[in-house]
Structures are given as structure tokens and as C-alpha cells.
Structure 1
């Protein structure tokens, strides 16, 4: 396959981002974009020179020249669109999270397997130089037996739409399935499951919090309060502002989670910890002991990337960026590399995330079997 031909579903922010990324990938071309908002789709097509625009995504799936479909719509639309794409014999690259519920995510994975097609799930963290550096230390054995990871993605003020960015669909269970646990938690959960070797989930505990009504009532006055309350009312906000939890994994390791759009907490670093050392993120540091001294070593990721870019460059002066997830998926579709199984990581992440919600609802720890059994479809009928 000399050129991988791509169709995009969704003319919003994520669709535009995917189009921009593919423009930098050798051997990839975006041929079509589908959205019920044909004006928005047409504007993107004009801006990026995309030949075909569809109002009906299923009509786009009939194009035999399209090899890959990118699903760039809200969470509860992922399952019907991805399944339809697999049934049309296409590979699928899906926005995160994989779906709006665990059972919908399972349906997508089952459809990919039935069609014998590749499924990738967007997680910008997996191929970053920082994550790959951490993976190098894990795989080399320098950390010893890795047994604990903490996933943190927390903001003090950053609620979609209410705080000024994104659309109301981000804060609606009807379209998104959940709040920050699904939206931003999935990045760090996926990264740490990847570093832990993606072991099976056994049990999950969790709790969620909603501060929005109280904060708008107490902290704001005058015009600002009126503006925020107006946006809150327009959004139909019915998801959590923050979620915390932990998962016990089948190999005995533990994964802790904190995800928040709106929580007055100090910054806390993500970590991966083993019996002989640990890796902390932002910045990447090795935590260990040397000569009985507790030792923190800064990992020079930029220097490593520069040297290896120079080594790979033909002239000795070219610095090649590490392939991102779009490069990687196109190369996997072309059969040039083995795919990093982002689909398996994303499905396991869904089990952790939905487990946090179920645990909060039931007020106790829940098993993986309970999570799967309780999960209901949130897919929107098309």
C-alpha cells in the first residue's frame, strides 16, 4: 500500500486536528470529510484541499478508495460509527476515550476483530519522548519490579464550555458519558497501563465530586457570576468536576487515578514505581539510591532525542522527530511496524474509568466482572 487514504468523521476541533497531523505524515492523504454540518465540513475541505464532503458518514464509507476512517465526534457516537466503518471493511482511528461506556468499547473491539482490521485510539501520551524514556527504564529492569503507578491530570479551573473552551457536549452525559475521568483521565490512565504492561483489571474503587454549583454561587459576583451561570445553564452540565480512584491489577500492581477539570488541589506528579527505582513525570526524573544516598536524576530527554535524530539523519545534521501516533498508525496499516495496541490499552482504561463511576455509585469497591455486567450502552442511535 503506497498511500493510505483517510476519511474523517467530524468537522469540529478534533477533526481539524487529525487533518493537520496527517498532512505531516508521509504516505497518507485525507480524501474525505463527513459531518451533518456541511458548511463546517466544506470550510475544512476548502482550507486543506480535501476533495470530498459528505453530510452522511455512511455514504463516505461506500468509497472503496478510503482505507482508514478517523472517528472525531463525541464519545457516545464512537460505537455506531466505528462499528459501521469496520463493517465497511475500513481500519479505524478513534478519538479518546474509546466509547461512552465499557460495553460500547467492547463492541468496537469485537467489530475490529471480526473485520480483521486495525483499531487505534488517540492517546497523545503514549509516543511522547517522555513516555518512551520511562518505558526504556521499565524494560531495562533499572526500576526493578514495577508495582505502582499514579495517574494525575488535574486543573483548578478548566471546565469545558463553562470556563470558555469547547462545546456543551463535553459536559453532558448524553453525549460524553462522563466528565474529566473520561475526558482527560484517559490520557494518564492509558500511559501508566502501557508502562505497567497493561495487566488485567481485578478491582476498582473510586469517588466523584461536583463543585460547580457551589463555586458559581460563592466565588463570583457581578457580571462574571451572571456570565458563568448563563454558560452553566446553557451547557446542561450533569457530569463530575473531579474523580479519584484506584485499581488493583491482576499482577498485584496498583494504579491510582486523579482527574479534575475543577478542583482546588496542589499540583501532583505522575509516577511509576518499582522495587529499585521510580520515574516521575513533568519533568522526567529517575528516583533511586546511590551509595546509600537518596538520589534524583534528571533525564535529559531533549538531548537523547537530538543525538538519536542526528544519528538517524543521512547528513548527520537532520533531526528527525520521533514518530507520533498518526505516523505510527499509518505505518502499521502499511504493514511496516507492529502496532502499539492502543485498542487493548483503551479498553482496559475504560474498565478502570467506568469502575470509578460504579464504585462511587455503589459506595464500595467493585470487581471487573461487576463493572462489565453493570455497563450499559450509551450509544446514540443514528
Structure 2
């Protein structure tokens, strides 16, 4: 069965999704939709996609299309995804699931009402390290898992201001939040997945905004004015960094740090249990034996290579392990037991929005408070 895809958004993410789908066997990208029809046409011509639409709704009317990839800014996810589900399409959505928990919840509810699959982009769920870590957890090599730390932190890496991306990344109106939503969602999702995606009970957190004072003349010299101009032009109104912690229903705890710009030493993500722990990048297993402390590097690459050889027909045509796009296409086909990326993304939204609300109120918050206070940030179409 060939799975036929429609892409909403002709920007960087739309290009990436199109190229990824075109590398998946028996998968066809039939159309690209974007309000900038010229951009959609240029991308379609470059990548050999036959159909172009200025209005995504016209693309949804195409009965040949099985699934839609939503590749636009966060606050457009909810209206577009819901309309796609209403049109009978499966939906794969860029991260985070939406610009708020309330909007994300509506997306998942729309998927359930339509009886269609929801996939959410999170490359970290499909890495060799994550596969290995999940196996260690499921086989009980960590014992009773009680703690995880999620870290995605840069010293200098703010969208647009630091030379990449567009101003939409740093505006609440389009993105909903800053690095907590943008990059925090990757590692929060991975750690929740490894913990078994337990329900969230309470969240605390704080955000930090350095903005104009973040680069002094001693750091940037002659480029100081350029950074200041980019900051002003961008209408930057989100955080530079966010930290927090979530108390989970099974008694475990998740700590979080997400930053585009924070002068903090590197810190590794971890998952810890009663009999062992894992640290990421590179993946290491920490335990004790015969009263010795042991730190063992896990050879993920060699394992993945050997598995590919074993599973190949000839033994000589081993290739990369399946990507999240392979997994999503097989989910649409119904040939795999899918990783619940939608449920993980919704749980991640509770944690991330909980950090913002806790910062606003100056105290720990319950998930009920997060759900009650979560606004809709969806942009009317």
C-alpha cells in the first residue's frame, strides 16, 4: 500500500518533511499547501511534488491523500490539524503539539473523534540511544525507575537574533513560548517516554529573560549593534531559558532545563533507578558490581549495525534504523504497534505550560490548575 501525503507549509519544516517522506519506501508526497503560493510552487518544482495549493482546505478535499503533515508555526497547529481530522486524514504534526495545552488537547480529541492517527515530531524518541535506554528500562536493568533529568541547553542559540530562523520563533503570538516549547519538548518527551509516560501531578518552574543585557561589547565587539537590531526587529517576547520539575503520579520526578541562551555548564540527561542509571550523549550505564562502581559506555552504533545485518535478507545491505517518518508511515498502514507520540506530546505540554504558570504565580501548580488556566492561542483562519 502506497501512503500518500500532503504537506502544509513550504518553509524549512515543510522541506524537511517532504524530503524525509520521499526517502520512505512506498510513500508519495502529492501536494504542498501554503498561503505563499509562490513558495509552495518553488518547493514543489524543486522536489518533484505534483500539486500546489494556496488554501490547505482545498488540499484536504483530495481523496487520494491519506495523511497530512502540519509544518507551520505552533499557534496554527490546532486549527489546521482539527480540520484535517474532520476531513478524514491522519495527521503528523511538528513539535510542540500546539501553542498551549488547551489547543493540544483539542487536537488529540479531534483525532480520537475521527478514529485517525496523530503523530507528533520528536526525533529523540527514535534514536539508537533512546531505543537502547528503553530496552534497559523494560528489562529491569535500572530497577525501580524514580528520577529523570531533561536537558536541552545552549549558551548562544536564540532564533533570528543569533542568525538562524525567523522572528516567528521568538513571538508568543505565533509560537506560544520560547525554548521550553521549542527545544525542551524534545527531551521532556524522551524522558516521559522512558518513564512510561506517567500522569503528571504537580509542576514547579521559573523562566529567565536576559535579552538586551545578554551580549556585552566584550563578547561581540563590532557585532553588538547587529545583535541589538535583530532583537528589536524580532519583537522578542519569550523567555531565554526555563527550568523546572514535575512530580509524576507513579512517584517519580522529572527535572527540566531548556535554554536558547544560558551561560551554564553542560549537563547530561539521565534516567535513574534503584539498581542502575543511564546518562545520555554518549549513552552510559551506571551501576555497581562486587562493591565496585561501574560506568560502562553502551556501544549503540555497533548494536544497531549488527541488528540491521541480522534483519537484512542478504546480510550485506544493512542500512540506518527506521526514522520517525518510517514509523509514522507504518502507523498509517497499520503494520506497527505505534509509539504514542500524541499522548507523550500532550503530557509534555502539561509539564511545559506548568513551568510557565508556576513562574507566573510564583509557586508549584497542580495539573488541574494548568488545564483550567491554559488559554487557546490558536490563530483564526
- TM-score range (shorter-chain normalised) is over 0.9
> Using the alignment, how far apart are the partners of 2:132 and 2:61 within structure 1?
42
Deviations 1:318-358 (A, max 9, x none): 21321111100111111111211000000000000000000
The equivalent residue for 1:368 is: 367
Q: Could you tell me whether the CA contact under 8 Å between 1:6 and 1:67 is conserved in 2?
A: yes
The equivalent residue for 2:256 is: 257
Alignment of 1:70-219 (within 5 A): 70-216=69-215, 219=218
Q: Tell me, which stretches of 5 or more residues in structure 2 are unaligned?
A: none
> Using the alignment, how far apart are the partners of 1:154 and 1:360 within structure 2?
19
Q: Tell me, which stretches of 5 or more residues in structure 1 are unaligned?
A: none
Q: Could you tell me whether the CA contact under 8 Å between 1:312 and 1:320 is conserved in 2?
A: no
Deviations 1:14-50 (A, max 9, x none): 0100011111101211000000111111111011110
> Using the alignment, how far apart are the partners of 1:178 and 1:372 within structure 2?
17
> Using the alignment, how far apart are the partners of 1:258 and 1:230 within structure 2?
28
The equivalent residue for 1:271 is: 270
Q: Could you tell me whether the CA contact under 8 Å between 2:74 and 2:99 is conserved in 1?
A: yes
Distance 1:294 1:323, change over 3 A: same
* Partner SS for 1:246: strand
* Partner SS for 2:124: coil
* Partner SS for 2:318: coil
> Using the alignment, how far apart are the partners of 2:243 and 2:146 within structure 1?
19
Matched, 1:308 2:307: yes
**Aligned-pair CA distance for 1:223:** 3.6
**Aligned-pair CA distance for 1:226:** 1.1
RMSD: 0.9
**Aligned-pair CA distance for 1:216:** 3.6
After the TM superposition, list the runs of 4 or more consecutive aligned residues in structure 1 that deviate by more than 4 angstroms: 217-222
* Partner SS for 2:126: coil
**Aligned-pair CA distance for 1:314:** 1.2
**Aligned-pair CA distance for 1:90:** 0.3
Q: Could you tell me whether the CA contact under 8 Å between 1:118 and 1:333 is conserved in 2?
A: yes
Deviations 1:128-149 (A, max 9, x none): 1100000010000010000100
* Partner SS for 1:259: strand
With normalisation by structure 1, the TM-score equals 0.98
Q: Could you tell me whether the CA contact under 8 Å between 2:9 and 2:72 is conserved in 1?
A: yes
* Partner SS for 1:308: helix
Q: Could you tell me whether the CA contact under 8 Å between 1:35 and 1:41 is conserved in 2?
A: yes
Matched, 1:299 2:298: yes
Q: Could you tell me whether the CA contact under 8 Å between 2:217 and 2:224 is conserved in 1?
A: no
- Equivalent pairs, count: 381
With normalisation by structure 2, the TM-score equals 0.99
Deviations 1:145-166 (A, max 9, x none): 0010000000000000000000
